[in-house]
Amino acid sequence: MYFFTALVSFLLFTAATAQGPSGCSPTPNDAAVVEFGWALSSYLDQFYSQKPLNNSFLDSAPNSATAEYVFNLQGIQRKNLLAVRAAQILASRIPNVPRPGCNFTFPTSPNGQTFVQNALMVERAASGAFVGLAAYTRSPEVSFLMSRLAAERAAHAYYLAAQQMTADFPSNSTSLIQAYSPQHVLRSDNRPGNLGQFLHGCLKAPPSPCGLPLGIGPLGGSFGPTSASITTMPTMCP
């Protein structure tokens, strides 16, 4: 009797274990999201590695006397390595996610002032890009990483913004933090969130999990017609 009870318990546990993760397993759509996020993280890593982040170079940057640029930008470089590693680890558990092999370019930064200005632009674009990528996932672990990377880039952006402007939280704001669809990020229109002019067609936008374009509004987003871009409530897809 004990053996039978133990066997039934074991089989129930095995079935529950097999059923639970299977519904959360990454899909081909998730593979495309991780590929995009991994490549974008690699771009950010290379952006900060292209210049000597020392006092000589950063002396012309805004608020250089108190911003502790060398200390903080070296810390951001370390975070970049961790972000790339996190994407790499997740990619290793998902079939058909290729390693990034892009020839990126970067905004011209002849001195520290232009470098931190460009860093702010890139960080804001990346933060919004990772927020947008989270909407394209099916797997919780993939959306978790995209959300975490978005928060990381937003923290970097707010540090850089604090050194360059008096206020980054206007009292009349009508929108939450910016979010950008992958298609928007890949454009080369020199609008906020566009990075296509530096990515040179190396990244591919993941397909929509709902088969419709993602419209992003000030408070929410929805997969649907163009008019959905003004929505304030997300639409669930099956």
Judgement on whether residues 87 and 72 belong to the same structural domain of the protein: yes
Assess whether 130 and 184 both reside in one domain: yes
Asked, for residue 151, whether it belongs to a domain, the answer is yes
Q: Residue 23 CB: number of other CB atoms within 10 A?
A: 9
Are 106 and 86 members of one domain?
Answer: yes
Q: Same domain for 109 and 134?
A: yes
Is residue 114 domain-shared with residue 132, that is, in the same domain? yes
In a domain, 136, yes or no: yes
> Do 118 and 221 belong to one domain?
no
User: How many structural domains compose the chain?
Assistant: 2
- Give the model confidence (pLDDT) of 83-105 as tens digits: 999 999 999 999 989 999 999 99
Q: What was the pLDDT predicted at 225?
A: 61
CATH number for the domain harbouring residue 84: 1.20.1260.10
Burial of 191 (0-12, 13-18, 19+ CB in 10 A): exposed
Buried (b) or exposed (e) across 134-162, using 16+ Cβ within 10 A? Answer: bbbbbbebbbebbeebbebbbebbbbbbe
Q: Are residues 66 and 147 in the same domain?
A: yes
> 226 or 181, which is more confident?
181
**Domain for residue 193, yes or no?**
yes
* Residue 220 covered by a domain: yes
Domain enclosing residue 214, as ranges:
208-238
Q: pLDDT (tens digit, 9 = 90+) per residue, 207-217?
A: 988 888 888 88
Q: Do both 156 and 213 map to the same domain?
A: no
Banded model confidence at residue 25, pLDDT cuts 50, 70, 90: confident
Assigned domain for 13 exists: no
Q: Report if residue 8 sits inside a domain.
A: no
